[in-house]
Amino acid sequence: MDQAKDISAESTVKGEHTAIMVIHGIGEQVPFETLDMFARGILASLNDRAKSKETQTYRPIHRQRTCTIPGTSETWLENCISLDAGNSPRIDIYEYYWAHEMTRQVTAKDIVKWMKDISSYARKYYGENPKKDVEGKCKEEPRLKNLFEPSGQFHKSGYLRMMGPGVRLLLLGLTILESSALRSWPLIQWVFNFLMAKAKKVLIDYIGDVVAYTATDRKAHLFKVRQSILQNSRLMLESILKNDEYGSVIVASHSLGTVVGYDTLNRIHKLPKKEKYFDKIKGFITFGSPLDKIAFYFREQIAVDAKIRLQMINNLHSFKKVEMKYPGIDIDASDHLKVVDKTSNNLKNVKWINFFDRNDPVSGNLDLYKVEENHKLDMKEPFGVTHVKYWEHPPMYKKILNSFSSELS
């Protein structure tokens, strides 16, 4: 069929199209970069399926629409890529870009402390939640499996447990090398500069974003940055939800973007007034996600003796969350400190699928959240490099289409 006829035959029925909001992760992102990669991946899988079924293939179309901030007259122009086959509902892909919000004010010292804390909290958690013997076999609780180890087993030598000390050892070695007399040798000088450049890029440009976003001090500048990122993310998602053309909305996110996506959905989940359009949110897609690791960090920011505060914070961050146990705290219905939760729960039917790779040090099977599908990938990429290769992995997009077959048909 001629492409011009395809577009003229485009379906215009309200409420039948699907929107996907893509949220990028850490690193040196530029506008429309993640939109481009995600759209190409979905488009290729859609057309592979169309060819196998001998149906009309999809083509990308650049569209613009005016968005309005709820309750105000303030508007802005949003760009999207429509994947359109002309004779079927289209898929509109939007990008939430937040990289410009980060100020890179985190130091290497801040990062090392953060990583040390995470590894310490993980060790403590597993000390409180040991393996259980089930039917004579030593097995872990389902929520503990595959949390840090590629094999699906947790071991005391797991990389996250050693992450903090390992980074400190690396920085110590670089410091010794910097002050060494050998530094004057050309080869040693080149090696030192190379290692320092790589360490700075990984620590400051990548992990630094995670440390900045997880700032818990409301008085700190970095906390204001986090609030701004979340406010704009929620406004964009709500403007998409209020569009009558869409019957389904999916949030897809990578790396630290999965934390932004989760926090955005959690805010809508806890809004006091539930809007009908909240039910349009059908899915949450995460890949390369550090959500489990960050959960340990926030868990340890709550004093265990502040029982009422602890329960309030757990209630406010409850979107598809598995309840984490705290040492020495066992509050039951008869306890006079048991808090009755009367807060909103607006998102009860969102399907969450997560992707991770054994060579990605950031991601993993998400055990501390109620994830419907955890997919272990094998991208056959080097350790560390794997984290940025999800965008180019066709099997992931095929699984996304299979998991959301009714929304992405």
pLDDT in tens, 15-56: 689 999 999 997 778 999 999 999 999 999 999 999 998 899
Residue 159 confidence (pLDDT): 41
Q: What's the CATH code, domain 3-102+221-332+345-403?
A: 3.40.50.1820
Residue 3 confidence (pLDDT): 35
Residue 91 confidence (pLDDT): 97
- Whether residue 83 is predicted with pLDDT greater than 90 in this model: the reply is yes
Q: What is the pLDDT of residues 197-237, one digit of tens each?
A: 666 555 566 677 777 777 666 656 677 888 889 999 999 99
C-alpha to C-alpha distance for 323 and 74, rounded to whole angstroms: 40
Q: What is the pLDDT of residues 367-390, one digit of tens each?
A: 789 999 999 999 998 876 888 899
Of the listed ranges 82-86, 144-148, 371-375, 377-381, the least confidently predicted one is 144-148
Phi, psi at residue 398, to the nearest 5°?
A: -65, -40
Q: What is the mean pLDDT of residues 121-127?
A: 65
Q: Which residue has the higher pLDDT, 189 or 245?
A: 245
Residue 149 confidence (pLDDT): 47
Residue 205 confidence (pLDDT): 61
- Whether residue 103 is predicted with pLDDT greater than 70 in this model: the reply is no
Q: State the chain's mean pLDDT as an integer.
A: 78
Q: Which residue has the higher pLDDT, 216 or 78?
A: 78
Q: What is the mean pLDDT of residues 88-94?
A: 94
C-alpha to C-alpha distance for 27 and 353, rounded to whole angstroms: 23
Q: What's the pLDDT band for 130 if we cut at 50, 70, 90?
A: low
C-alpha to C-alpha distance for 182 and 188, rounded to whole angstroms: 7
From residue 103, how far is each of 109, 129, 176, 209, 232 by CA, in Å? 17, 38, 30, 9, 17
Q: What's the pLDDT band for 129 if we cut at 50, 70, 90?
A: low
Q: What is the mean pLDDT of residues 240-246?
A: 93
Q: Which of 268, 262, 254 is nearest to 352 (CA)?
A: 262
Residue 308 confidence (pLDDT): 85
Phi, psi at residue 158, to the nearest 5°?
A: -55, 150
- Whether residue 2 is predicted with pLDDT greater than 60 in this model: the reply is no
Residue 17 confidence (pLDDT): 95
Q: Which residue has the higher pLDDT, 68 or 204?
A: 68
Query: Tokens 């149906």, residue?
Result: 55
Residue 279 confidence (pLDDT): 95
Q: Which residue has the higher pLDDT, 165 or 306?
A: 306
Q: Kindly give the residue spans of alpha helices, DSSP state H, lying in 201-277.
A: 208-213, 221-241, 256-269
C-alpha to C-alpha distance for 148 and 65, rounded to whole angstroms: 42
Instruction: Please calculate the CA angle 324-328-333 and round it to the nearest 5 degrees.
Output: 70
Q: Which pair of tokens denotes residue 238?
A: 């709500």
Q: What is the pLDDT of residues 308-333, one digit of tens each?
A: 888 888 888 889 998 766 655 666 66
Q: Which of 233, 343, 345, 347 is nearest to 279 (CA)?
A: 347
Those residues whose C-beta lies under 8 Å from the C-beta of residue 239, and which sit 6 or more positions away, are 67, 68, 69, 70, 78
Share of the chain above pLDDT 70, in %: 63
Q: What's the pLDDT band for 153 if we cut at 50, 70, 90?
A: very low
Complete edge-to-edge strand list for the sheet that includes strand 59-68: 59-68, 75-84, 91-96, 17-23, 246-254, 281-287, 351-357, 373-377
Residue 14 confidence (pLDDT): 66
Q: Are 362 and 255 in contact (CB under 8 A)?
A: yes
Residue 158 confidence (pLDDT): 42
Cβ neighbourhood burial of 248 (10 Å; 0-12, 13-18, 19+) = buried
Q: Which pair of tokens denotes residue 12?
A: 């215009």
Q: Which residue has the higher pLDDT, 180 or 247?
A: 247
For the chain, the structural domain boundaries read 3-102+221-332+345-403, 108-213
Share of the chain above pLDDT 90, in %: 40
**What letters, b where the CB count within 10 A reaches 16 and e where it falls short, cover 130-161?**
eeeeeeeeeebeebbbbbbbbeebbeeebebb
Cβ neighbourhood burial of 406 (10 Å; 0-12, 13-18, 19+) = exposed
Q: What is the mean pLDDT of residues 250-259?
A: 95
Q: What letter would DSSP give residue 85?
A: -
Q: Are 396 and 355 in contact (CB under 8 A)?
A: yes
